[in-house]
Chains A and B, each alone.
Chain A
Amino acid sequence: MADLSTRVHNLNLRNPVLTASGTFGYGEEFDDFIDVNSLGGIIVKATTSKHREGNPYPRMAETPMGMLNAVGLQNKGIDYFVETIYPRLLKYNNCIIANVSDSTVDGYVEVAEKMNSLDHISAIELNISCPNVKEGGMAFGTSCPSAIAVTRAVREVYDKTLIVKLSPNVTSIVEIAQAVETAGADAVSLINTLLGMAIDAEKRRPVLSTITGGLSGPAIKPVALRMVWQVARAVKIPVIGIGGITTATDAIEFMLAGASAIQVGTANFVDPQATVKIIAGIEEYLNRHKITNVNELIGGLIS
């Protein structure tokens, strides 16, 4: 029996399979389909300092092997999270990670500080890469100075594992990764969605209310894999791979490229059981290749 447990900074994960923020709700949406506790961990949807209504409908456009979304961080704010959502998350005994977003540095700091006092939240993932909000969001993740500023400010108030989630919509994701590493990030996760667009030719109108949106799903996998490989070689902190992961083979490819753990996003919509199938598939792969520990896969690419 292969050992699937892995470690990302201080996080001890049952297995390397996590869920991507915004695609897994607060876990409970999936209780009917899988044992959420069997996952390495769950990353719940973005929390901001204040309640946000998000963008107007339509927020989704299906594209070849993927989709565009323009949800725009709809959530009820950190205080509601602490009072109402956090108690519901206590039923899970795996690693619960909060995705933190905002439009100002002060906002990020406020959310991070409040998350810091929640025992059951073992890490935060700083979303400096959301393409769907007018100000802030991705803007922080697309320049080194602002990425450093927000990471430093949050580092000051946050004691546990700090993951910074990177945007692929940059000239050099490696530079941003190195910048947040110096600013105190304990790990980086990548990639967030790629900025894209869909047009309804019959109506001659954009499909999304925001015109542009974030592309996710299998369509982005090769781009994500390339970025994970580049970043993993350039930083010392652990890298978490995200982007189009649908099968165990996809997950293994990301680990071979250097990811210590992976996140499953859009695939959850098509198959709510995708995560548990990926875990089973990784185990089967390890057994077949006579690998006793999943960590041997990390960066194991032969080139």
Chain B
Amino acid sequence: MKKIYSRIEAIAGNVITVHAGGVRNGELAVVSSAGQSSLAEVIRLREEKVSLQVFAGSRGISTGDRVRFLGHPMRVSFSADLLGRIFDGGGKPRDNGPELDENMIEIGGPAVNPAQRIIPRNMIRTNIPMIDLFNSLVESQKLPVFSVSGEPYNPLLARIALQAEVDLIILGGMGLKHDDYLFFKETLEKGGALNRTVFFVHTASDPIVECLLVPDIALAVAEGFALQGRKVLVLLSDMTNFADALKEIAITMEQVPSNRGYPGDLYSQLAARYEKAVDFSGAGSITILGVTTMPGDDVTHPVPDNTGYITEGQYYLKNGRIEPFGSLSRLKQLVNKDTRADHRALMDSMITLYAAYKESLEKKAMGFKMTDWDRKLLKYGVIFEREMMDLSVNIPLETALDNGWRILASCFSPEETRLRSELLRKYWPSREGESD
């Protein structure tokens, strides 16, 4: 057993400093006082001066507490026993189940060799038209939901998780409200998915440092399962809390902030997590669906901004709907060529017309004269929002496509849609008013 140090020299923020020898960068230690103990991680070394970040926070830590180094970095137990279990950000059970200590694996491991990646090819069906039809989600994609706080992003995540055909779900909660945590638990339980789910949940009342560990723990476990051939869906809610935790530590460490107080390496930190999304050739995959709440509905805020530069698109949630503008799946073209022959063309045509509807709406608001064409668009926009954008719509892609044709036919003549004649001949609903 390693030596115990009992002299803490400095405590600032959640960082403590001790004098110790033979310590390695990233190593774990246990800090214990009379009543409590917490894990801590070495984040800086200067000769014998060792700085550690205390997971449970520094509140109540005294200079006389004992620090015992463990000789290894942060790890998590990895086995099928994890399934159905709930842990906190530090990997401790939250559910009265036994603590797991078998087959410990390191978290925050190395990146996948780009030469070993393959081009993603499988669509993940969600039965949400704004996703399946307009911005298809692809296995191994990393995609956040950009949202103003107060929007139903957690219900959206839970619904996609239940609907998606994946083997395992891993939920990483960061700064999650307790109610939201219970919501996830109950929803997944009701949906019969609890036994293929692992929770790593940091709630708003837990120590901030544990928030930092959540993505790494969740993704290390996901990686383990993916290497065993499983399709894993990782839900991360809310990554803005993770970024704020990074900011707090950076300020404690007196790093020079780059933008609104966030550290200069925010991009690299976020990328290190999101880039864990992968399709292993010959094994499983990791898909990451995150939530990034946007302070003040501002996409240029450093957190959504850096996220947008990293992820493969985003779903923009506003007024309870996924907005067609601002939302983007950068991988959709890899899968929507193989769904149905009309998918791409219908998608483009409907969006173009919806954009035209918005213009007419604006013109109307300015009091300009409405033409026949404007009136058609105004009718279309309302139906589009009701039948495509409303989140309560829950239909397979094929039905959504059929509905799309029906909506177009109820508002426009065929040539007004600018769709190719060959598609119109095949898909344009006949006059008899049939409704499929």
Do A and B come from the same complex? no
Write the residues of chain B forming the contact surface with A, with a CB cutoff of 8 angstroms: none
